[in-house]
Structure 1
Amino acid sequence: MQGTVYKSTGSWYTVKAENGEFFECRIKGKFRIKGIKSTNPIAVGDIVEFELEADGEEGNGVITKIVERKNYIVRKSVNLSKQVHIIAANVDQAFLLVTLNNPITYTAFIDRFLVTAEAYDITAILLFNKIDSYNGEELEEVNYLMKMYEDIGYEVLAISAKNGENIEAVKDLMKDKTSMFSGNSGVGKSTLVNALDGLEIKTAEISEQHMQGQHTTTFAEMYDLSFGGKIIDTPGIRGFGVVDMEKEELGDYFPEFFKLKSACKFNNCLHLDEPKCAVKEALEEGKLSWSRYKNYVQMLEEDVDENYRTDIYKN
């Protein structure tokens, strides 16, 4: 039988078969997937083949094979630094929830998310949440950020998970697709999921002491949506990074830089101090965002693998 993993608790996996029936499955032996050193070989979103246990309890099965993934998302293991934890697999699109405050979503965080999504050809959508809570000056800043990313070519939406503003537009984007919601803890992921389809996923208030969210989701879990499609609810994340990327590639994943690359004097231009750099010229002319460029340079200069290998998309 074949099915999709909807929930993982580390030792048991809830699998939805093609006929719509759910089974609790386990694995036998070790799964080795393209050399991945993972703390969990099977993840939510995986398509698996399984067999029912003849002498076991009704509804139980054994997973025998993982169908090749089109992508997956991993988190570096906290205790085992050389291993990773696979959060989810086979994601069609990723939504990043952004909040101006309570908590602050920094542009460096947004840009790392977008770069990683670009690198592995995953559609990324930015949702600027809590739009109902901002004053006039804050709304101006939100509108500025939205226009900046929209001009680059990204889909952006101003929403309020709390009062339902633009929730129908989010639903339209999610129809018949497997979507994942990410963002710093406390940005309203669980509240939004509840608003989308009345799913009762535990939520938590922002910690006033640290202005950070309480981690309410321990494991990723997939839910079917009444309006079509699926959603993967993931643990709150505080960092997002890239991996397995050469410095010469990084600029290619900033779409506005990539468009100008052919006009640079050197085809391997890093857009730093090279002469006749089209990106630097566009910056000086005010045609590109200095915020984006600053984050690009920061990513180039930092030890990406050590400092930012926190949550990543991977083919």
Structure 2
Amino acid sequence: MLKGRIIKALSGFYYVLSDGKITQCRGRGVFRKQKVSPLVGDYVTFQAENELEGYILDIEERKNELIRPPIANVDQAVLVFSAIEPEFSPLLLDRFLVLVEANGIKPLICISKIDLVSDEKRPGIEKYAQDYRNIGYDVLLTSTITEDGISDLLPYLNECVTVVAGQSGVGKSSLLNALKPELELKTNDISASLGRGKHTTRHVELISVGTGLVADTPGFSSLEFINIELEDLSTCFPEMDRLSENCKFRGCLHLSEPKCAVKSALEEGDIPPYRYEHYTSFIEEIKQRKPRY
């Protein structure tokens, strides 16, 4: 039996990297019975007669997994959000941050297309960047045209598995092309009628960049908090998580409870109002979520 990691899934085939060689595999029928599908990033046991006829026999326990994009065992997420075209959206960024925080994945915020920002709008973008840095996130301002921030990004990718995620059209593939030009990943302009990008990445694949592996993923524009419970949401907001131990009531949801440290910090200007607004809107969304059976 052989062991390796799935680095690409496409059309029912799984491409497993083992000892520097890639073997094309199929999943055994047992996975359908167990309702488990192999994912890119999985460590697997497989057998193979040759490099085109392998079968995955077992999947090792995952440390985490994402549904959209479908990938497992991720160390870090580079969340790419354009400063403009499409417009920077802190609401959508916070949705992504909640998802990766809930899965124990370290986020890195990358604000792209900074070369397109007018002098009038640049202070606003830089204010957002500083807000997120104050929370404790690493934030890079990048441009694939001027190459601003590109050399700063590369060290973050070494020795780990990184998923590159974000809204369609923000420049994820362009960013990877700037890091590793020989990839020649397909890119597309923003749709003028929709104001968002066309999907250019059709599957998930782990690519060697520096000394790490990076996944270019299909773009998507919505996220659902399927597995996040009300009492766990504030742990996905680091600034609230740090303050919550000072709340009077254990399990405080930071809504209308008395002597809430988070509400006090908000009133004192220590938490950006939009972050708290997003938190409360996510609370309502989770409350309205249909029960799972």
TM norm structure 1: 0.86
Question: Is the aligned partner of 1:52 residue 2:35?
Answer: no
Structure 2 residue identity aligned to 1:247: L
Cα distance in structure 2, aligned partners of 1:304 and 1:48? 38
State the match for 1:73 in structure 2.
66
State the match for 2:20 in structure 1.
20
DSSP 3-state at the match of 1:136? coil
Structure 2 residue identity aligned to 1:15: V
Question: Is the aligned partner of 1:270 residue 2:253?
Answer: yes
Alpha carbons of structure 1 residues 93 and 72: separation in structure 2 relative to 1, 3 Å? same
Residues 84 and 117, structure 2, Cα contact 8 Å, conserved in 1: no
State the match for 1:216 in structure 2.
200
Alpha carbons of structure 1 residues 304 and 22: separation in structure 2 relative to 1, 3 Å? farther
Cα distance in structure 1, aligned partners of 2:287 and 2:222? 12
Cα distance in structure 2, aligned partners of 1:250 and 1:284? 20
RMSD of equivalent CA atoms: 2.0
State the match for 1:252 in structure 2.
235
DSSP 3-state at the match of 1:124? strand
Question: Is the aligned partner of 1:162 residue 2:145?
Answer: yes
Cα distance in structure 1, aligned partners of 2:217 and 2:81? 16
Cα offset, 1:58, TM superposition: 5.2
**Structure 1, unpaired ranges of 5+:** 76-85, 308-315
Cα offset, 1:153, TM superposition: 0.3
Residues 64 and 104, structure 2, Cα contact 8 Å, conserved in 1: no
Cα distance in structure 1, aligned partners of 2:80 and 2:42? 24
DSSP 3-state at the match of 2:139? strand
TM norm structure 2: 0.92
State the match for 1:280 in structure 2.
263
Structure 2 residue identity aligned to 1:67: E
Structure 2 residue identity aligned to 1:177: C
Structure 2 residue identity aligned to 1:30: V
Residues 162 and 191, structure 1, Cα contact 8 Å, conserved in 2: no
Cα distance in structure 1, aligned partners of 2:8 and 2:232? 35
- Report the count of equivalent residues: 289
State the match for 1:83 in structure 2.
none
DSSP 3-state at the match of 2:80? strand
Summarize deviations over 1:270-306 as a string: whole Å, max 9, x none: 1111222221121111111100000000000114785
Cα offset, 1:32, TM superposition: 6.1
Cα offset, 1:162, TM superposition: 2.8
Q: Which has the higher contact order (CA 8 A, sep 6+)?
A: 1
Summarize deviations over 1:64-97 as a string: whole Å, max 9, x none: 111111111103xxxxxxxxxx611111100101
**Equivalent runs, 1:166-177 vs 2, <5 Å:** 166-177=149-160
Residues 84 and 113, structure 2, Cα contact 8 Å, conserved in 1: no
State the match for 1:79 in structure 2.
none
Question: Is the aligned partner of 1:30 residue 2:26?
Answer: no
Cα distance in structure 2, aligned partners of 1:121 and 1:58? 34
Summarize deviations over 1:172-226 as a string: whole Å, max 9, x none: 110121111000000000000111111111111111111111111111111112x
Alpha carbons of structure 1 residues 271 and 303: separation in structure 2 relative to 1, 3 Å? closer
DSSP 3-state at the match of 2:4? strand
Percent identity, please. 39
DSSP 3-state at the match of 1:104? coil
Report runs of 4+ in structure 1 exceeding 6 Å deviation.
none
Residues 92 and 178, structure 1, Cα contact 8 Å, conserved in 2: yes
